[in-house]
Amino acid sequence: MQGTIMITENIALVKKNMETACRKAGRNPDEASLIAVSKTKPIEMLREAYEAGCRDFGENKVQEIMDKYGQLPSDIRWHMIGHLQRNKVKYIVDKVFLIHSVDSYRLACEISKEAVKKGIEVNILVEVNVAEEESKFGAHREEVLELIENIAVLPGICVKGLMTIAPYVENAEENRQHFVNLRQLSVDIMSKNIDNVSMGILSMGMTGDYVVALEEGATYVRVGTGIFGDRK
């Protein structure tokens, strides 16, 4: 079993914190959803989170999604949150609810191609490298609009919003401006009224900074450690 990690209690605490953060910011708590980031964690732990009410799970590896997908109930919404290689797109396009990590036109083309082949519509977010960190994936802020305009005309793929992985910081306040900037970018893009593009989703905030992200407009927070404990 999961030993000393109290997944059910952790989820309840995160949800309570989410509600408090939303209310503090004058937001309806229903606007924000929790993604339980279950990468590297065994099925039993995901099952406990499922029993505690989680239906959104985040994974960052194609192989891991494929392994876990068939072992858990089909009403789970799988979120691909990690860097996605083009040659692996075909394995997951029909299994995931949302791909958070599209940061290039070439990747979007591959998703479009596989979606058309399977006769499905794939929802994606464009990942933005808000802090311009060299070590991180994600499009740079100034290229995002053009990237989205190009993706918008591809068949079988639909842009639903933006995602970012903020820097690792000791004090979450240090990331507030990045979250403000991502939200502003989504407002700017929304104002362009691009066909086939909506900006309803803002995926931002992790264990260390999800409260601040919610105060600045996150609609999905992705929490791993805060639910399942440390990863090795």
Ligand X SMILES: *Cc1c(COP(=O)(O)O)cnc(C)c1O
Residue showing tokens 């970012």: 164
Query: In whole angstroms, how close is the CB of 207 to ligand X at the nearest point?
Result: 3
Strands (E), the chain: 33-37, 56-59, 77-80, 98-102, 122-127, 157-163, 197-203, 220-223
Tokens for 44, please give them.
């039993």
**Is residue 39 at the binding interface for ligand X, with CB under 6 A as the rule?**
yes
Which secondary structure element, helix H or strand E, spans residue 214, and what is its range?
helix 210-215
Find the shortest distance in angstroms from Cβ 189 to ligand X: 21
For residues 22 and 208, the answer to whether their CB atoms sit within 8 Å is no
Q: Which of residues 135-164 bind ligand X (CB under 6 A)?
A: none
* Closest CB to ligand X among residues 115, 172: 172
Told to check if 222 binds ligand X by CB under 6 A, we report yes
Whichever of 82 and 217 has its CB closer to ligand X, that residue is: 82
Parallel, antiparallel, or unpaired for β 77-80 and 98-102?
parallel
H-assigned helices in 57-164? 62-69, 89-92, 105-118, 141-152
Q: Residue 209 CB, nearest distance to ligand X (Å)?
A: 9
Q: How far is CA 18 from the centre of its chain?
A: 16
Q: Is 60 in the site for ligand X (CB under 6 A)?
A: yes
Q: Nearer to ligand X by C-beta: 113 or 160?
A: 160
Residue from 7, 22, 36, 37 touching ligand X (CB under 6 A): that is: 37
* Contact status: 32 vs ligand X (CB under 6 A): no
Considering only 84, 206, 211, 218, the residue that binds ligand X (CB under 6 A) is: 206
* Segment interacting with ligand X, rule: CB under 6 A, options 3-11, 21-29, 145-153, 223-231: 223-231
Whichever of 57 and 154 has its CB closer to ligand X, that residue is 57
Q: Is residue 223 close enough to count as binding ligand X by CB under 6 A?
A: yes
Under 8 Å between Cβ of 84 and 102: yes
Closer residue to ligand X, CB minimum distance, 40 or 198:
40
> Buried b / exposed e across 160-194, counting CB within 10 Å, b at 16+?
bbbbbbbeeeeebeebbebbebbbebbeebeeeeb
Q: Is 198 in the site for ligand X (CB under 6 A)?
A: no
CB-nearest residue to ligand X: 224
Residue 82 touching ligand X (CB under 6 A): yes
Distance CA 135, CA 57 (A): 25
Size of site (CB under 6 A) for ligand X: 14
Binding status of residue 38 toward ligand X by CB under 6 A: no
Binding residues for ligand X, per CB under 6 A?
37, 39, 60, 81-82, 165, 206-208, 222-226
